[in-house]
């Protein structure tokens, strides 16, 4: 695998076993990084590592429930021993939820916040500690839901709003440490979650509903995980050394052209 803009970097990607996280892990490895794939789904993490190895890259998988501090600390320590201290963190682990404030149960709300907010917090804490004295780049996966009201996404929007403001806070606090922190805000991205959601809620109408959801992006389609990964690669590279405390929509015009 040819060296690229992330040559000799060590990257930790949470939720790297599937969807956007997997695409980022593969892209970073292709760009020359040694990649630690952290995921609660161990088989998916191993599959991502196998794909990276088959393409000539270097990666290792680590089982990690990001809602548990002890598991996060252990995974970061193991990744450091195996691949070296992290230069990059991407917090892609997350869960979705459909529901209004009335229809969202306490248990569902707690689950979404535990993964999407506490999980990001614990990984940010571990990464900043590991990068102190060395510098590094952190990229959080936020959402268009971070800054606008989406129907039936109460718990999810709440969590992604927190991801956005955590990004700003860490960027501010780490200005003197050489640690940059940014986030991306995707709109609808075609991941396995989308296919599962359609199969569960619209059996027999998957193709019809896929086209309907795709059309909600002004550009006329959903994004791909690989497109998010391309943006992530740039933001985590030295070419983006002047960028911190920023949120980058990748949304087919959803935030600015819809209506």
**Using CA atoms, how far apart are residues 72 and 215, in angstroms rounded to an integer?**
38
Closest among 160, 144, 157 to 248, alpha carbons compared: 144
Active-site amino acid positions = 156
For residue 150, give the 3-state DSSP assignment.
Answer: coil
Q: Angle of helix 154-173 relative to helix 119-131, nearest 10 degrees? A: 20
Q: Which segments of 100-253 does DSSP mark as H helices, in order?
A: 106-113, 119-131, 154-173, 192-201, 206-214, 225-235
Burial class (CB in 10 A: 0-12, 13-18, 19+), 19: buried
């Amino acid at each position: 695998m040819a060296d690229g803009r992330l040559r000799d970097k060590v990257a930790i990607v949470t939720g790297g076993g599937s969807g956007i996280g997997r695409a980022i892990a593969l892209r970073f490895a292709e760009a020359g990084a040694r990649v630690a794939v952290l995921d609660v789904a161990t088989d998916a993490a191993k599959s991502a590592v196998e794909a990276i190895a088959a393409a000539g890259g270097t990666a290792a998988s680590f089982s990690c429930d990001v809602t548990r501090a002890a598991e996060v600390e252990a995974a970061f320590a193991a990744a450091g021993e195996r691949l070296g201290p992290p230069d990059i963190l991407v917090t892609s682990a997350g869960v979705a939820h459909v529901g209004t404030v009335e229809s969202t149960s306490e248990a569902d709300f707690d689950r979404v916040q535990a993964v999407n907010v506490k999980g990001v917090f614990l990984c940010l804490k571990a990464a900043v500690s590991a990068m102190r004295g060395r510098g590094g780049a952190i990229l959080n996966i936020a959402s268009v839901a971070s800054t606008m009201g989406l129907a039936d996404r109460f718990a999810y929007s709440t969590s992604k709003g927190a991801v956005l403001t955590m990004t700003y806070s860490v960027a501010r606090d780490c200005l003197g440490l050489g640690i940059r922190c940014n986030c991306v805000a995707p709109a609808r991205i075609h991941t396995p979650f989308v296919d599962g959601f359609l199969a569960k809620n619209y059996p027999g109408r998957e193709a019809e509903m896929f086209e309907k959801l795709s059309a909600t992006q002004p550009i006329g389609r959903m994004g791909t995980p690989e497109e998010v990964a391309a943006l992530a690669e740039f933001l985590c590279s030295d070419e983006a050394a002047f960028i911190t405390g920023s949120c980058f929509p990748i949304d087919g015009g959803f935030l600015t052209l819809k209506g």
